[in-house]
Each structure stands twice: as structure tokens, then as C-alpha cells.
């Protein structure tokens, strides 16, 4: 018992702080003050520290350095790609066939979705945000629609791969799934394609005024800094080679660790070590998002230590049925990070004799939770924080009004396919 407080008070304070953070992120306004997401989360972390819900040493230890370094490395690569012009130049080759808003949206959804299965959803969110905002400005298309398309696509696409997001990797390693790559793809590839099509349909319904039949003309952007662009190309080659190595290691030696941090830092190394613009690039890194994640780890650790959500989950019947796994995963992943949630759920499923189908349902549910609400996935926060740096945003309600019906459809698709 921390600070001599009775257990119900410990649970009450930590969970109350989490609830307040959730509400403030939804409204983003206190009186005349407009709050940023990172400021709200930092306030939550400070609150649990000041009220003794977590000690300073435990708070520091709760911050996942691997995640922080991974994000830092990928932010450096993303900034360099944007500042050199490499991002827009390379993207033109991919999207130049988009002759209408319909085609552009479909290409964005499927391109980002498939890339996130290989490069990890957070990576694609970092690279994709400035790109979709560039297209929104140059083509006079709704930035909110394209930001939502990016958010939904990286979430849906990452679900079908054991390296698409951190929780899938945890399930692949600790869930007892034999041949995880083939198991994930055989079970989730078709549902992923269906869900990406559903995302297109839902976005088209909510943003029907954008689809007026006007032609879209994508202009090729030139390289602004050839030397920095060359280093970006080197970084992408490093990412591709190291991801292939990670896949091989996971398949041949699952007992050997190959942290994603290595990939991100190796990719950032050519830019940091060889570019004369290294200081400019590092200065333009999205530091507020890194503050958000550090604060989130502290707040989640304080909430986790209460045992509140663990006891809630332990009291639920029928935890191994696929509909229950999907439903519980989607709901609880809104309140606690999906990685600790999955870490809690895996042993419960294993004790109940669950097999690969249930573990893959856990991967699908804990991932697709990111489509429900803004706080359901780290990639959503990355997208919104980066968008706000460029003068655009997605509010909690703007995300929810599209995300809630889409997530319901996504879960239905997973339920139907995983129950076959």
C-alpha cells in the first residue's frame, strides 16, 4: 500500500486521473485554454506522481526506452524525408495513377495498410502524416478525411502481420503460435482486405461531398536536397534489409531477440552521422509526441499497479470465445495500452486451453481497437500530434463518429472469418 492510503483510495485516485485525462483529451478545452494532447497526458503523469500513486524511481523505470528510441529514430528518418523532398518525390511514383478522389483514397488505404504490415504501423504513421497533408493542400481534398484514412489503414493493415505492431509481436512470441507469419497471414489477410474496403466505404459515406467526380492531377515534386535525399534512400534500404533479417530471425530462431529499436536507430544513423543538416533535422523531430509517450507509460504503470483492470478482466466469463476476445480487447485497449493488456490476456487464454485461433483473435481485437477512439492506438496520437504541427487536427469526436461504426464492422468481419 503506497503512502499509507487504503486500497480503494489507491484504485480511485489512479483510475480517476486516467478518466480525467480521457475526458480532457475528448474536450481539449479548459475555460479559455486550448490544451494539446501531450500536455494533458503529462498532467496525468504529474498527478499520479504528486499523489504518491507511483514513486519517482518506478516512474522512470516504467518508461519503455526501446519504444522511445524506436520513435526517435523513425522521427529522424521521417523529418529528413520530408525536408529533402524525397517523401513527396517517391510517393508520386506510387500514387500518380490516382485520377480521382476515389482512386486516391483507395490507393492511400491499401498502400499504407500493406506497408504497415511490414514497416510497423507507427513507422507508416510518421511518414504518412506529412504526405496526406501535402495531398490535402495541393489537391483541395479534406485533410480530416485523409488523416482518418491514414489512421484506419495503418491499424487495419498492421493486424495481419506478427511484426505489424508491438502487441502482435508479443502474441507471436509468447502466444504459442507455430509458424506465426503464415498463421497470421492465412487467418487475417482476407479480413484485412475486406476491412480496408469497408474503411473506404465508410469514409466515402461520411465525406460524400468530397466525391464530386472532379479529376485529380498529382504533380511530381522535385528533390529539394539531393544529398539528404540520398541518405534517406540509404536509410530505407537499411530498414528493408533489417526487417527482412528480423523476419528470418523470427522464423528460424524465435528465441533470439531482435528489437525494432535496432532497425530505427540504424536507419537514422546515416542522417545523424553524415548529413550537415543533422541539427536542423533533430530540432524538427516531434518532441511533444515523445513527451506524450513517456508520460503515458508513467500513467499506465500507476493504473496497472492498482490491479483494477486485471480484477475486472478476471471476473469476466467466457474469456476464450472469439466474440468475447474481440469485444474485451476493443474496449479495454481504450483505457490501458494494448501491449500490457495483451500481456495480461495471454496467460488467461493459455490457462483456459486456448489455441492459435484465439490468440489471433486477440491480435485482431487489440489492434482494431485503434479504430474505435483516438486513444486506442499510439499511431493515432502520432498522426494527430504531427498534423497539429502543420495546422490541422482531428478532434476526439471527429475520430469517434467515423471510428465507432467502422470498428463495429471490422469486428464483425473478424468474427465471421475467425469463426469459420
The tens digit of pLDDT for each residue in 325-337 reads 999 999 988 887 7
Q: Is 94 exposed, middle or buried (0-12, 13-18, 19+ CB in 10 A)?
A: middle
Looking at residue 246, its pLDDT comes to 78
Residue % of the chain over a pLDDT of 90: 53
Specify the number of domains making up the chain: 1
What backbone torsions phi and psi does residue 29 show, to the nearest 5 degrees?
Answer: -145, 130
Mean pLDDT over 224-247 rounds to: 90
CA distances from 245 to 76, 157, 166, 180 (A): 22, 21, 17, 16
Weakest-pLDDT range from 119-133, 195-209, 255-269, 404-418: 255-269
Looking at residue 314, its pLDDT comes to 67
What is residue 51's DSSP assignment? Answer: T
Looking at residue 6, its pLDDT comes to 47
2 has a pLDDT exceeding 50:
no
pTM of the predicted protein model: 0.86
Cell, residue 404: 465507432
Query: Domain range for residue 298?
Result: 2-418
Looking at residue 417, its pLDDT comes to 94
CA distances from 172 to 160, 175, 177, 262, 342 (A): 11, 6, 6, 19, 11
pLDDT in tens, 89-110: 888 888 888 889 999 999 999 9
18 has a pLDDT exceeding 80:
yes
Looking at residue 8, its pLDDT comes to 43
Helices (H), 253-286: 260-274, 278-283
Amino acid at each position: 500500500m503506497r503512502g499509507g492510503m487504503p486500497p480503494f483510495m489507491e484504485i480511485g485516485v489512479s483510475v480517476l486521473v486516467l478518466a480525467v485525462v480521457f475526458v480532457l483529451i475528448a474536450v481539449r478545452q479548459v475555460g479559455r485554454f486550448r490544451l494539446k494532447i501531450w500536455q494533458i497526458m503529462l498532467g496525468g503523469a504529474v498527478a499520479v506522481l504528486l499523489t504518491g500513486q507511483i514513486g519517482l524511481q518506478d516512474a522512470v523505470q516504467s518508461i519503455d526506452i526501446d519504444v522511445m528510441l524506436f520513435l526517435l529514430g523513425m522521427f529522424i528518418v521521417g523529418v529528413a524525408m520530408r525536408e529533402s523532398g524525397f517523401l513527396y518525390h517517391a510517393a508520386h511514383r506510387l500514387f500518380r495513377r490516382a485520377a480521382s478522389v476515389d482512386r486516391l483514397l483507395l490507393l492511400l488505404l491499401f498502400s499504407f495498410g500493406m506497408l504497415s504490415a511490414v514497416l510497423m504501423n507507427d513507422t507508416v504513421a510518421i511518414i504518412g502524416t506529412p504526405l496526406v497533408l501535402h495531398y490535402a493542400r495541393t489537391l483541395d481534398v479534406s485533410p480530416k478525411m485523409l488523416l482518418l484514412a491514414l489512421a484506419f489503414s495503418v491499424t487495419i493493415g498492421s493486424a495481419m502481420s506478427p511484426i505489424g505492431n508491438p502487441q502482435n509481436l508479443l502474441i507471436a512470441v509468447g502466444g504459442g503460435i507455430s509458424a506465426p507469419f503464415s498463421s497470421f497471414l492465412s487467418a487475417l489477410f482476407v479480413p484485412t482486405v475486406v476491412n480496408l474496403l469497408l474503411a473506404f466505404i465508410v469514409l466515402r459515406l461520411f465525406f460524400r461531398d468530397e466525391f464530386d467526380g472532379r479529376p485529380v492531377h498529382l504533380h511530381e515534386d522535385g528533390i529539394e536536397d539531393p544529398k539528404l535525399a540520398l541518405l534517406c534512400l540509404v536509410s530505407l534500404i537499411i530498414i528493408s534489409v533489417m526487417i527482412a533479417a528480423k523476419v528470418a530471425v523470427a522464423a528460424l530462431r524465435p528465441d533470439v531477440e531482435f528489437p525494432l529499436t535496432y532497425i530505427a536507430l540504424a536507419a537514422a544513423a546515416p542522417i545523424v552521422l553524415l548529413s550537415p543538416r543533422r541539427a536542423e533535422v533533430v530540432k524538427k523531430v516531434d518532441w511533444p509526441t515523445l513527451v506524450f509517450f513517456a508520460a503515458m507509460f508513467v500513467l499506465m504503470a500507476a493504473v496497472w499497479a492498482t490491479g483494477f483492470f486485471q480484477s475486472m478482466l478476471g471476473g469476466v466469463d467466457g474469456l476464450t470465445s472469439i466474440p468475447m476476445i474481440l469485444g474485451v480487447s476493443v474496449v479495454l485497449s481504450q483505457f490501458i495500452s494494448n501491449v500490457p493488456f495483451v500481456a495480461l490476456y495471454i496467460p488467461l487464454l493459455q490457462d483456459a486451453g486456448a489455441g492459435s485461433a484465439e490468440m489471433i483473435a486477440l491480435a485482431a481485437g487489440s489492434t482494431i481497437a485503434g479504430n474505435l477512439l483516438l486513444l486506442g492506438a499510439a499511431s493515432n496520437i502520432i498522426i494527430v500530434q504531427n498534423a497539429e504541427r502543420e495546422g490541422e487536427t482531428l478532434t476526439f469526436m471527429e475520430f469517434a463518429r467515423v471510428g465507432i461504426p467502422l470498428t463495429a464492422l471490422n469486428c464483425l468481419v473478424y468474427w465471421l472469418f475467425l469463426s469459420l
